[in-house]
Amino acid sequence: MAQQKNFLAHTTGILLHPTALPGSAVCGSFGAPSRKWLQKLSKNNIGVWQVLPLTPPDSKGSPYSSPSGFAINPWFLDAKDLVEEEFLPSSIFEALPGGLQEDSPKKLDFKLAESRSDYLRKALREAWSSQKVDRKLAFEEWCAANYWIENHSAFMVIRNQHNNLPWWEWPDSLRQCKQNYLKDWKKENTEDLLEHYLLQWHLDRQWKSVRKLAFELNVVILGDLPFYVSKDSVDVWSNRTLFSIENNGEMEIQSGVPPDYFSETGQLWGTPVYKWQHHKKNNYDWWRRRFSRQWEQFDLLRLDHFRALVSYWAIPGKELTAQKGEWRKSPGSELLQKLKNDHSGKLPLIAEDLGVITKDVEDLRDAFELPGMKILQFAFNGDPKNPYLPENIKGKNWVVYTGTHDNPTTIGWWEKLDIESKERVSKQLKQKIDSPVWQLLELGLGTEASLVIAPLQDLLHLDNKSRFNTPGTTEGNWCWRLSNFDQSIDETLRNYGERGASWGRSNRSIFDLFTDLGNR
């Protein structure tokens, strides 16, 4: 197998989902909030901005359980930019949910964000007839190039017409996704469909503008892709044969992970697994389009639950726990090779390889020379062979994190850490712990790993009140926001950038990386 060049520059990064950006009364956007953030990263020699999936979230705010895996979350649409570009009149501000104030509440209000995007969607449709011909041609070209937009728009309109019921509770002709019926239905709903077409086009335009600026500022944008897709999604509804699901919504086989030290019953995720034989039969077309869409949006991509490319835990659909599953093989090597061929011999992926990982998973990761992940919060259980200990992180092909969006903040972790583990951290550093975040970061910065990333909450020394997600819970997640870009943010980023530079980490090493990634 031909070797691929290491895609990771020797730099630092910050994990911050765009919803958490300040500068809006409702939700961080692809307008001024994103531009200001990128400028601050670049100014302080921080080379990577990591985000969570940009897809529309579920009702609890999770972007990992999206109703549409190819679309972008409408909450990110920037109203001010739309008015400045004359896609909308300034009069829309008068009734815009949330208004225009730039002070951000500490928590994201999902309902308010949804109301704001609904308002903008309708306003865009109403103003569309007055747009210039060249804009309409650009829109038509975009629609023709994005095959997914037709099913996405239909799914969202039907869902709205049926009070957000899941697709398996829709009337039969709609539930079955019968194309002859849908053809007539679309003729009757052209205005509603146009709203969703326009919404996604503008989101795509605005995000491309963000990416262009990131390139100019030497900042790599690192995205995130869930392995499975939501049961109640356009992806499953319109591609039923590719998933282990019946027409009535009952799953034949569902996803999860087996019982382990942390859970006697395992984890039941409630998403259908893939019918790999069908994917293979059509040359993995759905997967290849899925990755192609992601690489339009990001320079690098973290693939969640990478181990399922080797084998996945298959649980009978009617089971209520993950105990009675079995391991089944996946054609991961074949799929990755096709993706690499599609991408001019490059595979800008990071493998999420956390947890109990078997040798065959490591072999697949290493065969394609994909970077793996190391979490410093996992390092101090007293086992000298612990793979997360800094001295056991060998080579450059790693991304080292203090923690991820699923972990406690580092301050929250430290506050609950037992005395013995705290002593191990102190021994590791050969000093008293008086600043857990910076001292833990120093351990990561001092490794050979090419990339070190910290959630912004860690850098700000915030406790678990600012935690972004707690797995296994459904309330209070995905809603933390940064209040504003004040002096403390500037000081924090400057400190982080200087610490990175002292270890030879800088966004200057990003120059060659953009060429290598091939996503430009």
The active-site residue, picked from 406, 442, 463, 516, is 406
Q: 365-403, pLDDT tens digit by residue?
A: 999 999 999 999 999 999 999 999 999 999 999 999 999
Is residue 2 situated within a structural domain?
A: no
Q: What is the DSSP string of 95-127?
A: G-TT-S--PPPSB--HHHHHHHHHHHHHHHHHH
Is residue 4 situated within a structural domain?
A: no
Query: Is residue 516 annotated as part of the catalytic site, yes or no?
Result: no
Distance CA 270, CA 255 (A): 6
Is residue 109 situated within a structural domain?
A: yes
Distance CA 353, CA 460 (A): 27
Is residue 442 situated within a structural domain?
A: yes
Helices (H), 243-319: 276-281, 285-297
Name the percent of the chain lying above pLDDT 90.
92
Query: Is residue 250 annotated as part of the catalytic site, yes or no?
Result: no
Is residue 3 situated within a structural domain?
A: no
For 53, the domain range is: 11-517
The strand pairing partners of 267, in sequence order, are 257
E strands, 6-94, are 11-15, 48-50
Is residue 1 situated within a structural domain?
A: no
The active-site residue, picked from 126, 252, 304, 516, is 304
Supply the mean pLDDT for the chain. Answer: 94
Is residue 250 situated within a structural domain?
A: yes
Is residue 248 situated within a structural domain?
A: yes
Nearest partner of 410 among 380, 352, 454, judged by Cα? 454
Query: Is residue 352 annotated as part of the catalytic site, yes or no?
Result: yes
Q: Which range (9-13, 91-95, 206-210, 259-263) has the least confidence?
A: 259-263
pTM for the predicted model, two decimal places:
0.95
Distance CA 286, CA 277 (A): 13
Number of domains in the chain: 1
> Which CATH number covers residue 27?
3.20.20.80
Over residues 276-298, mean pLDDT: 98
Q: 327-345, pLDDT tens digit by residue?
A: 999 999 999 999 999 999 9
Interacting residues of 300 by C-beta distance below 8 A, sequence separation 6+: 7, 48, 220, 221, 222, 223, 348, 349, 350, 517
Question: Angle at Cα 38 formed by Cα 35 and Cα 44, nearest 5°?
Answer: 140
Q: 443-496, pLDDT tens digit by residue?
A: 999 999 999 999 999 999 999 999 999 998 999 999 999 999 999 999 999 999
